Amino acid sequence: MRKISSAAREALSAQKETSTKETRKRLDQAMKRLVAGTPQALPAGSRLTASNVAKEAGVDRATLYRFHRPILDAIRQAETNSAATPRKQRRTLSETEAKLKEYRTLVEEAQGQVAALARINYRLDASIHELEELIRVRDQVISDLQMQLNQQPLSSSVSPLKRNKR
């Protein structure tokens, strides 16, 4: 068996580390492109899966599974979040629709109350006009009576009221 020199071992180790970093960087960029919906190697709108990330990065899928567990975990987390998002959106939508229905009911009730108050207001306004007319007629009658009193000479048949002194 042939022995590998320490210099060769160090060179291989450095190459492996550089290669791993470069591959991790490519996988990370590929995942970001897929999330953004702007892949370069796959059709637009491709789903975020481990296989698609590996294809987008130009890496064998086995490499992703063997050596890049953090990227694989991030892909799974993003898949879980994206799967939960439509459910959450549906729940939010149904809650919003329920609130909308409740608000419409409240608006209809408020509109009914406004209409009832408008009818009351109309009747009160009519009563005010009627009362104002009655007051005008009363004032006219009072004015006419005062004129008649002022025009009549003081006759002996009319005597001033006497007050009782106590």
Tens digit of each residue's pLDDT (9 = 90 or more) over 32-51: 898 888 899 899 888 888 89
The C-alpha atoms of residue 165 and residue 71 are separated, in whole angstroms, by 115
Tens digit of each residue's pLDDT (9 = 90 or more) over 59-114: 988 888 888 888 888 888 887 776 656 677 788 888 999 999 999 999 999 999 99
| The predicted structure's pLDDT at residue 163 | 67
Nearest C-alpha neighbor of 53 from the set 85, 25, 15, 13:
25
The C-alpha atoms of residue 140 and residue 40 are separated, in whole angstroms, by 95
| The predicted structure's pLDDT at residue 57 | 92
The C-alpha atoms of residue 55 and residue 59 are separated, in whole angstroms, by 6
The C-alpha atoms of residue 34 and residue 56 are separated, in whole angstroms, by 8
Q: Extract the tokens encoding 73.
A: 């975990």
- Lowest-confidence region among 13-17, 26-30, 128-132: 13-17
Tens digit of each residue's pLDDT (9 = 90 or more) over 112-166: 999 999 999 999 999 999 999 999 999 999 999 999 998 877 655 656 666 666 5
